[in-house]
Amino acid sequence: MKTLFSLAALLFALIVGIPRQAEGAAPVAATAEPAHVLVLLSYHHGHSWEDDILRGFEAWDGVPAERPVLHIEWMDTKRYASAKDRQRFQRFLEEKYAERRFDLIATMDDNALIEAVKTLRWRDVPIVFGGVNGDPAAIVGERGRATGIAERFNLERTLNLALSLHSHTKRLIFITAPDESGVGNRQVIDANLASLPPEARGRLAIEHWTPSSLDTIDSRLFALPEHAAVFALGTIPKVEGGRPLGNEQLVAHVRGKVRGPVYSDTDRSVGQGASGGYVNSGLENGRLMAKMARRILAGEAPESIPIVFDTPQALILDFNELQRFGVAEENLPVGATVLNRPPSIFDPDNRAILIGFIAAILILTLVLILVLGGLVLRARIKVLSVQNERARDLQIANQALVEAKAAAEAANRAKSEFLSSMSHELRTPLNAIIGFAQLLEMGVPVPLEPSQKEAVGNILGGGRHLLGLVNEVLDLARIEAGKLDLVTESFPLMPLMEKVIAFTRLAASPRRITIRSGCGVCTSCWQLHADRSRTNQILLNLISNATKYNRDGGMVAIDCSQGTAGVRITVTDTGYGIAPERQAQLFEPFHRLGAEKSSIEGTGIGLVISKKLADAMGGRIGFESEVGVGSRFWLELPAVTLATIPCDSTVLPAPTIAPPEALPGRRVLYIEDNQANLSLMKSAFRQLPGVALEIAETGEAGLAQIRMNPPDLVLLDGNLPGMNGLEVLRILKDNPQTAAMPVVIVSAAASPQNIQAGMDAGATAYFTKPFDLPALLAKVRQTLEGKVAPHKR
C-alpha cells in the first residue's frame, strides 16, 4: 500500500509540474542552515499573472543575495480542481517535505492559501499571501499567523471611466471563471455596481457569464452589439478540459470576437486588446509580498503586519483601442499612461533637419509676435481709455475708468501669469533647434559644405537671438506677474564689472568705440548686497546700450562712486542723445524712441526690465541726456561695505589640453520623455566614442534600470511625467548603493531657485535648456574620466 501511495504521489508531481528551486537561492551553508520558504501557486507555470507575482517575490525586495531557499510548487487548479485532486496534492506535499521544516509559506491566489491553511502539519508556520480575491480573514479563520495582499480590482473607477469614454454603452458583460477566484471577482463586481449612480444602473443591462470554456460563448460574443462593453476577468480554457488561457490571452480572444470595448483588471492585458483602466500589477503584488516576508523572517509576528487591501494600481490605456473608438486623449484623466502611441515623425536626413529647424523658428517667431502684439494692444487700450476719459463728463468718466482698469488688470494678471509659466514650453523646442544646429556645425553626422555651414550658422544665430528675445519677454512677464525670482547675497563689484566690460568690448571693437573704466583697481572691491546674476543683467544692458546707440569711434565712460542708496555706477556715452519730448517714454515697454527705423536691433524692453529689477533689489535707475552730446545713465544698488578689501590677483597658467580619448565600456543613462531631446542626445553622444547611451522615458523606469544595472553617469530631465527629476535625484542620493553615482540635470527650469534646489539635492552639475552642447559633452567626459568629484548634499 505504501508503495502504491508513493507511486501516486510521484505521478501527481509529474502532472502538475516538477517543483524547482528558485535561481540564485542561497546555498546551504556549512555552519548555518538558511531559511526555507515553501511557495505555493494556485495555477500553472506560464500563467502570466502568477508568473509576474513570482518574479516580483523572487526579486526579494531588491536584495536577492539575502533571499532564502525557495521551494516552488504549482497546484494547476485550473485543470485539477476536484476535492480528490486537492487531497492527492496535499498527500504529495506531505510526503515530499516530510523531513523539511519551513520557516514561512508564501501563497499566490485563493486556492494556494486554502491549501496552506488546511495542511495541519504546517499549522504553526507563518503565511504571507498575495492575489487573494476572496475574504482572506474568512479563509485563514482561527489558524491566524497570516498576512498579505488581498487583490481588489477597483472596478468602480474603471466602470466610471468606461462609461465616460463610451457614453453610448447600454450593456455590461462580465466574464469570470467558474472557480474560487471567479466567485471573489463577482463579489467585487456586485459591490462596485451597487455604488453606481441610480441613473446609470437604470440604463444599463448587466450580465454575468461564467463559461467553463470560451468555445461555449463565442457565438454570443459575435452577436454582441457595439454598445456592449465586456469585462474579461480571470483565466478560462479555450476548450473544455484544455489548459486555461492567461488573462491577456483571454482578453485577446474576446477582443477578436466583439465590436465594443473590452476591459480587464491586469496590466498584462493592456496592449493585447483591452482598452485599459485602473489595473493591478502582479509584479508589484510579488514585491509587496517579499517585503512582508522579509519582516516576518526578521522576527515580526504576521498578525502585527496589516493586510493590504488597497493594492497598487495604475491608470493605463491602449492608444490603438482609443483610436478604434474615437476617444480623444484630452478626454482622459490626468496622469493616464497611454501605451502604443506612435512615435513622433523625425527624419534624420540633414536636409529634412534644416527644413524642420527653419519651420520651428518660424513658428516660434510667430508665437513671439502674437505675444508682443497682445502686450502692445494692451498698452494701446490703456492710452485709448485715457483719451476717452477727457471727452466725457467727469463723473461718468471716473466710473468708466474704474471698471476699465479692473478689467485691464484682471486680463493683465491672467496673461502675465500665463507667460511666466511658459519658460519650459519655449525653452524645450529651442533646445532641439540650437542643439541639432550645434551638432551640424560640429560635423555630425557628416561634415558640412560651405553653403550648408553658412545656413546652419544662420540657424544658430537666429535661434540664439530668438532665445534672447524669449528671455526678455519672459522676464518682463514674470516681473508683472509678481513671480520674479531673486537670490540676494553679498559679492564684490569689481570682478563682475570687469567681466561685463570685457564682454561689451568685443561688440564695441568693430565700430572703434573705446570703453574706459574709472572704477578703481582690484584692491578697492566694494561689496554689493543684491542678486548677482540680475546685477550682471542690468550692467550688461546699460553698457551695451551705450555702445549700441553710440557713434562710430565714440567713447563709453564707466565710473563708480558712493550714492544715496549705496554704490552708484554711472555709464556715459557720446551718442546722439534723447530728445526731451521722448524722454518720458524711455521706461515704457516697446518704445524704442525712433530706433525702430534704424538698423539697430532691439525690442524696447531691456531698460524697462532693468528698472524693475533695480527697484526689486532696493535700488534705482536714472538718466540725463542732451541731443547731439550723449547720455548718462546711472544705477544705484545697496552696499554692504565700501571698505578696501584685498583681492587675489594671481594669474593662473593656462591648462594643457590633452586630445580626447575613447571611454570604452562607460554607460550613461538619459532619463527624458521628449523625443526631440532624446534624438539630439543620441546624435551628440556619437562624439564620445566608447560611451553607451541608454534611455528611460520616466523617472520610475529610470530607477528600475539603475537598480538592475547601475550606469556610470545619469543625465536627468527635471520635468518628467509622473515622478519628477528632483524626486528621482533624492531617491538616488538617499540610497547608499547609488549615493555616489554622478547625476547631471538637464532641464528647462532655469530659475536660480530651480538650479539651487537641484545642486542642494546632490546634482553634479545643472544645465539649462537650451544648453551649450560642447560644454555638456565636456562635462560628461570629465565626469566619466573621474575629473569631477560627486556633489554631496
- What pLDDT is recorded for position 234? 79
Answer yes or no: is pLDDT of 459 > 90: no
Residues 248 and 211 occupy one common structural domain: yes
Region of poorest pLDDT, from 20-29, 88-97, 439-448, 521-530: 20-29
Answer yes or no: is pLDDT of 597 > 50: no
Strands (E), 219-324: 228-232, 262-263, 276-280, 313-318
Residue 792 included in any domain: no
Residue 447 included in any domain: yes
- What pLDDT is recorded for position 104? 95
Give the whole-number percent of the chain exceeding pLDDT 90: 28
Residue 712 included in any domain: yes
- What pLDDT is recorded for position 427? 65
What is the domain extent for residue 592?
488-641
User: How is the beta sheet containing 488-492 ordered, strand by strand?
Assistant: 488-492, 527-531, 639-641
Answer yes or no: is pLDDT of 210 > 70: yes
If you average pLDDT over residues 285-297, what whole number do you get?
92
Residue 300 included in any domain: no
pLDDT, tens digit, for every residue of 549-558? Answer: 889 999 999 9
Q: What is the DSSP letter of 270?
A: B
Residues 465 and 404 occupy one common structural domain: yes
Identity of residue 12: F
**Residues 583, 607 contacting (CB under 8 angstroms):** no
CATH of the domain at 275: 3.40.50.2300
- How far are the Cα atoms of 330, 670, 721 from residue 335, in angstroms, in the given order? 11, 22, 8
| Residue that finishes a domain, picked among 96, 118, 150 | 150
- What pLDDT is recorded for position 16? 44
Higher pLDDT, 8 or 238: 238
- What pLDDT is recorded for position 718? 87
Residues 623 and 513 occupy one common structural domain: yes
pTM of the model: 0.39
pLDDT, tens digit, for every residue of 605-643? Answer: 778 888 888 888 899 998 998 888 999 999 999 988 665
Cell numbers at residue 393, please?
Answer: 463728463
pLDDT band at 40 (very low <50, low <70, confident <90, very high): very high
- What pLDDT is recorded for position 17? 44
Is 32 exposed, middle or buried (CB count within 10 Å of its CB: 0-12, 13-18, 19+)? exposed
Residues 355 and 405 occupy one common structural domain: yes
The CA-based angle 533-536-542, given to 5 degrees, is 145
Strands (E), 638-690: 639-641, 666-671
Mean pLDDT of the chain: 81
Cis peptide, bond prior to residue 445, ω within 30 of zero: yes
Question: Most confidently modeled of 316-330, 367-381, 399-413, 580-594?
Answer: 316-330
| Helix residue spans in 309-349 (DSSP H) | 319-324
pLDDT band at 476 (very low <50, low <70, confident <90, very high): low
Residues 271 and 355 occupy one common structural domain: no
Cα-based torsion angle of the residue sequence 167, 169, 170, 172 in order, rounded to the nearest 10 degrees: -130
Residue 286 included in any domain: no
If you average pLDDT over residues 707-716, what whole number do you get?
95
Higher pLDDT, 764 or 66: 764
- What pLDDT is recorded for position 493? 86
Is 267 exposed, middle or buried (CB count within 10 Å of its CB: 0-12, 13-18, 19+)? buried
| Residue that finishes a domain, picked among 455, 481, 507 | 481
Answer yes or no: is pLDDT of 703 > 60: yes
Residues 716 and 676 occupy one common structural domain: yes
Residues 735 and 616 occupy one common structural domain: no
Task: Dihedral sign for Cα 195, 198, 204, 209, please.
Answer: positive
Residue identified by cell 471611466 is 161
| Residue that finishes a domain, picked among 339, 360, 390 | 339
**Residues 305, 147 contacting (CB under 8 angstroms):** yes
Beta strands 527-531 and 639-641, pairing class: antiparallel
Answer yes or no: is pLDDT of 312 > 60: yes
Give the whole-number percent of the chain exceeding pLDDT 70: 80
Residues 6 and 138 occupy one common structural domain: yes
Region of poorest pLDDT, from 16-20, 146-150, 218-222: 16-20
**Residues 223, 188 contacting (CB under 8 angstroms):** no
pLDDT band at 345 (very low <50, low <70, confident <90, very high): low
Residue 572 included in any domain: yes
pLDDT band at 414 (very low <50, low <70, confident <90, very high): low
- What pLDDT is recorded for position 649? 39
CATH of the domain at 8: 3.40.50
Region of poorest pLDDT, from 407-421, 478-492, 739-753: 407-421
Residues 563 and 679 occupy one common structural domain: no
Residues 63 and 139 occupy one common structural domain: yes
Region of poorest pLDDT, from 231-240, 420-429, 492-501, 642-651: 642-651
Answer yes or no: is pLDDT of 680 > 80: yes
pLDDT, tens digit, for every residue of 736-793? Answer: 999 999 999 998 887 777 888 999 999 999 998 888 888 899 999 999 988 665 555 6
Residues 314 and 374 occupy one common structural domain: no
Residue identified by cell 502504491 is 4
Answer yes or no: is pLDDT of 460 > 90: no
Region of poorest pLDDT, from 10-14, 279-283, 450-454, 511-515: 10-14
CATH of the domain at 565: 3.30.565.10
The CA-based angle 201-204-210, given to 5 degrees, is 105
Count of the separate structural domains present in the chain: 5
Residue 47 included in any domain: yes
pLDDT band at 35 (very low <50, low <70, confident <90, very high): very high
Region of poorest pLDDT, from 280-284, 343-347, 677-681: 343-347
Answer yes or no: is pLDDT of 31 > 50: no
Region of poorest pLDDT, from 93-107, 214-228, 397-411: 397-411
Beta strands 666-671 and 713-716, pairing class: parallel
- The whole-angstrom separation of Cα 268 and Cα 256 is 17
pLDDT band at 571 (very low <50, low <70, confident <90, very high): very high
Residues 427 and 533 occupy one common structural domain: no
> How would you label 58-95 residue by residue, b for 16+ Cβ within 10 Å and e otherwise?
bbbbeeeeebbbbbbbbbbbbbbeeeebbebbeebbee
Residue 653 included in any domain: no
If you average pLDDT over residues 376-388, what whole number do you get?
81
Q: What is the DSSP letter of 107?
A: E
**Residues 669, 706 contacting (CB under 8 angstroms):** yes
